[in-house]
């Protein structure tokens, strides 16, 4: 990696000492964003950023909200695993199996430390979507006869959800944190409710959808469309006041800002590797251990068992209980390298850089009266992305114009159809950023955007 090594890697002995300082404290004393020269050196770690597209135009990648690019250290970590350590973890007694298991569990420790969690509370999944589904299906399995035998009665009561109970989401959720709860309610007889948003994209400040009947509140930390940072403490406080479990979709926050699960106060948190400079095919569920320990499994089979007989089986303790089958070890190793990379840059500096990019993008777009930004216009309320519409021009056409200039953005409803309906737009264009994004790329983006009114006759 480049010389942005400004704090110890989570893989070093200093990681344990670093956990004594909460990420909230770090955020209150933010160091400055990396300088343009530092970002230029950092970009050298990302091979794909040197390529050209569309007839030799430099790639301007502003679609990190969909998937981030990967530094060489992540690519090398995966390749090194396959070349030198490839074996099934937790299964063999030979040296390769021991090495593979050590690499896998070491990555779990560092990934947990990255979000302020002990390794035993970190469950690996295929992606953030599966992490949320794991919670939803495990909770529905809790209703099966005998599923909660031996569980503390108070915890068991929180986990049993059925007719007369409610699950509350928000109108700005990604489909990954909406459809699983729709299905959960269909299976259990619970009722789905939601916190509405107004036309500016703000949630109902009264949170009136959370009632005494609410048993689960599932909500996003950062909107994948608007980039809006949710007031987590307020929602958690309201949920706790009625005894509801909280499930946080942190897929768009963990890559951009310091996140500490203890500070957030939620019960479960999900994020994904491919938005975090890591590989595809790996996601993470964090859960409070007493809840993970009480929940029945989601997928059953090998590796997650304690004792198997022909007539019945008992299950391993978390996190293994939720990791049936041979895991995606190379991807876990790659994600460990990704959190090492971001830890070395410093998540406070990543957040400061992100804030600068968002503010600059909003400033440049405000100079164009024919662009209508969706959601709050305060840069302090945005993380990682800016979405907008150009009235009279379909976002797909906007995306095509930008792509012709080598600028990659996302267009459509971004797996958030209800949010777009609430905002009364069929779709939007989203520019999203990461630690390797530069102000010059935002300039190239808005200059390419200036072609839209010329082509489509927008006044």
Catalytic residue ranges: 415
Q: 229, 193, 179, 210: which is closest to 384 by C-alpha?
A: 229
DSSP assignment of 72-140: HHHHHHHHHIIIII-S-TTT--SHHHHHHHHHHHHHHHHHHHHTT--GGGEEEESSHHHHHHHHHHHHH
DSSP codes joined into one string, 322-334: G--SS--HHHHHH
Give how far Cα 405 sits from Cα of 61, 65, 277, 389, Å. 11, 20, 25, 19
The per-residue b/e assignment along 388-404, b for 16 or more CB within 10 angstroms, e otherwise, is bbbeebebebbbebbbe
Q: Is the dihedral of CA 79, 81, 84, 87 positive or negative?
A: negative
| Phi–psi pair at 416, nearest 5 degrees | -145, 60
User: CA quadruple 165, 170, 171, 173: dihedral positive or negative?
Assistant: negative
Q: Which two tokens stand for residue 321?
A: 């209980």
Q: Are 415 and 173 in contact (CB under 8 A)?
A: no
Rounded Cα gap, residues 100 and 49, in angstroms:
31
Q: Is the dihedral of CA 396, 399, 403, 409 positive or negative?
A: negative
Per 3-state DSSP, the chain is made up of helix, strand and coil in percentages (nearest 5) of 40, 15, 40
Alpha helices (runs of H) in 288-427, residue ranges in sequence order: 289-294, 329-345, 347-366, 395-404, 417-422
Considering only CA atoms, which of 312, 326, 263 is closest in space to residue 116?
Answer: 263
């Amino acid at each position: 990696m480049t010389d942005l090594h400004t704090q110890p890697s989570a893989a070093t002995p200093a990681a344990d000492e670093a956990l004594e300082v909460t990420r909230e404290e770090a955020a209150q004393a933010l160091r400055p964003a990396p300088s343009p020269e530092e970002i230029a050196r950092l970009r050298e770690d990302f091979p794909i950023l040197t390529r050209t597209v569309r007839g030799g135009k430099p790639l301007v990648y502003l679609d990190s909200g969909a998937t981030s690019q990967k530094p060489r250290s992540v690519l090398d970590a995966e390749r090194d695993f396959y070349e030198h350590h490839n074996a099934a973890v937790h299964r063999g007694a030979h040296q390769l199996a021991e090495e593979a298991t050590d690499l896998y569990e070491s990555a779990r420790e560092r990934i947990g430390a990255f979000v302020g969690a002990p390794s035993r509370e970190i469950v690996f999944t295929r992606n953030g979507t599966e992490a949320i589904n794991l919670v939803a299906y495990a909770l529905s399995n809790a209703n099966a006869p005998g599923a909660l035998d031996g569980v503390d009665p108070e915890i068991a009561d929180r986990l049993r959800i059925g007719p007369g109970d409610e699950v509350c989401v928000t109108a700005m959720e990604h489909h990954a944190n909406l459809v699983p709860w729709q299905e959960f309610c269909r299976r259990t007889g619970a009722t789905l409710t939601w916190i509405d948003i107004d036309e500016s994209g703000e949630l109902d400040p009264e949170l009136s959808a959370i009632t005494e009947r609410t048993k689960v509140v599932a909500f996003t930390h950062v909107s994948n469309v608007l980039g809006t940072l949710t007031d987590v403490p307020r929602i958690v406080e309201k949920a706790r006041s009625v005894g509801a479990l909280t499930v946080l979709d942190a897929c768009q926050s963990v890559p951009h800002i310091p996140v500490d699960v203890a500070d957030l106060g939620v019960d479960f948190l999900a994020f994904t590797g491919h938005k975090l400079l890591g590989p595809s095919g790996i996601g993470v569920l964090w859960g409070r251990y007493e809840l993970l320990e009480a929940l029945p499994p989601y997928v059953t089979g090998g590796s997650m068992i304690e004792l198997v007989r022909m007539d019945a089986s008992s299950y391993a303790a978390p996190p293994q209980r939720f990791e049936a089958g041979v895991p995606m070890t190379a991807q876990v190793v790659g994600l460990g390298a990704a959190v090492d990379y971001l830890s070395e840059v410093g998540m406070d500096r990543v957040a400061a850089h992100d804030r600068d990019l968002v503010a600059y993008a909003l400033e440049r777009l405000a100079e164009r009266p024919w662009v209508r930004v969706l959601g709050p216009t305060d840069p302090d309320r945005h993380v990682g992305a800016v979405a907008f519409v150009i009235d009279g021009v379909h976002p797909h056409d906007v995306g095509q114009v930008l792509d012709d200039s080598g600028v990659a953005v996302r267009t459509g409803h971004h797996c958030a159809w209800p949010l777009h309906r609430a905002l009364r737009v069929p779709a939007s264009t989203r520019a999203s950023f990461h630690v390797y994004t530069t102000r010059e790329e935002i300039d190239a983006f808005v200059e390419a955007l200036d072609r839209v009114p010329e082509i489509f006759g927008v006044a």
